[in-house]
Amino acid sequence: MTPSLEVSGLAYAYPDGTQALYGVDVTIGRGERVALLGPNGAGKTTLVLHLNGILSGGLGEVRVGGLAVDPKDKKGLREVRRRVGIVFQDPDDQLFMPTVGEDVAFGPANLGLRGAELDARVKDALGRVGMLDVADRPPQHLSFGQRRRVAVATVLAMRPEILVLDEPSSNLDPASRRELAEILLGLDVTVLMVTHDLPYAAELCPRSLILSGGVIAADAPTLDILRDDDLLAAHRLELPFGFDPAAAARLLG
């Protein structure tokens, strides 16, 4: 089966000469849940922005479901951007319509969906995140955790191949954090989660990558990475006080 994501030899420097990626090779299979870890400035955002062609012009190749990310291929790039759904860290960057339902409908409507088909797509996406009952409410009237779930729904409505989540647990209270985790574990899409929250990575993602200094420094089962104190220290990753990877391994089975 064609992988969801293939990144080969990806290198990129910004116009000011700052080299962000030095040759990244990553393959993620369909249905995998993978955490992307690393210190600030490691190149995580640069890598993510290559997945749907927002950034381009460096060396190497990115393929999503076998389709090359090529900015010169406008039709192909439109399909890539449907396949790669990015949920931003701040849901207010994603929600801008008068009602929740209109926000979720925005993307599919731009694909040409109308009428009953569009309504069904919106209901399905909101139902998958447990937010169907707020379809007619303004998003600014929702809690932060609810807005983040609606932001996920706006992406799910596009039927993506890959769901990219930028720090999904940030600013969530414990109940909202748990509710979001349950939703994400129930989704049948490939997930790439950019996070500094190592326990959340352990809970949601069996596999983790460490991106550090513009290269993949580690690619291993998440709990193996979290048990390697020297590896974590070398890449400025710290477990929260009291978190025991060995106990988490027993709990997660």
How far is Cα 165 from Cα 8, in angstroms, rounded to an integer? 21
* Average pLDDT of the chain to the nearest whole number: 94
- Residue in this structure with the two tokens 């209109």, named with its chain if needed: 102
Block residue for tokens 């020297």: 230
How far apart are alpha carbons 42 and 44 in whole angstroms? 6
- Kindly state which CATH superfamily the domain 5-92+161-252 is placed in: P-loop containing nucleotide triphosphate hydrolases (3.40.50.300)
Cross-strand partners of 216: 211
Mean pLDDT of 101-116: 94
Q: Above 80 in pLDDT, residue 249?
A: no
| Number of residues in the chain | 253
H/E stretch holding 234? helix 229-234
Tell me if residue 45 falls in helix, strand or coil: helix
- Is the model more confident about 141 or about 1? 141
User: pLDDT of 23-76, one tens digit each?
Assistant: 999 999 999 999 999 999 899 999 999 999 999 989 999 999 999 999 889 999
* Residues 224, 216: Cα–Cα separation, whole Å: 16
Which of 51, 84, 86 has its CA nearest to residue 70? 51
**Integer Cα distance of 180 and 152 in angstroms:** 10
Pairwise CA distance, residues 107 & 121, whole Å: 10
Model confidence at 127: pLDDT above 90: yes
Distance CA 94, CA 60 (A): 30
41: how many CB neighbours lie within 10 A of its CB? Answer: 14
Which pTM was predicted?
0.93
Rounded mean pLDDT, 175-199: 95
Domain residue ranges of the chain, discontinuous segments joined by +: 5-92+161-252
Provide the pLDDT for residue 243: 84
Say what the pLDDT of residue 253 is. 59
Residue 244: what pLDDT?
Answer: 83
Do 68 and 45 meet the contact criterion of CB atoms below 8 Å apart? Answer: no
pLDDT tens profile 89-105: 999 999 999 999 999 99
Confidence bin at 217 (pLDDT 50/70/90): very high
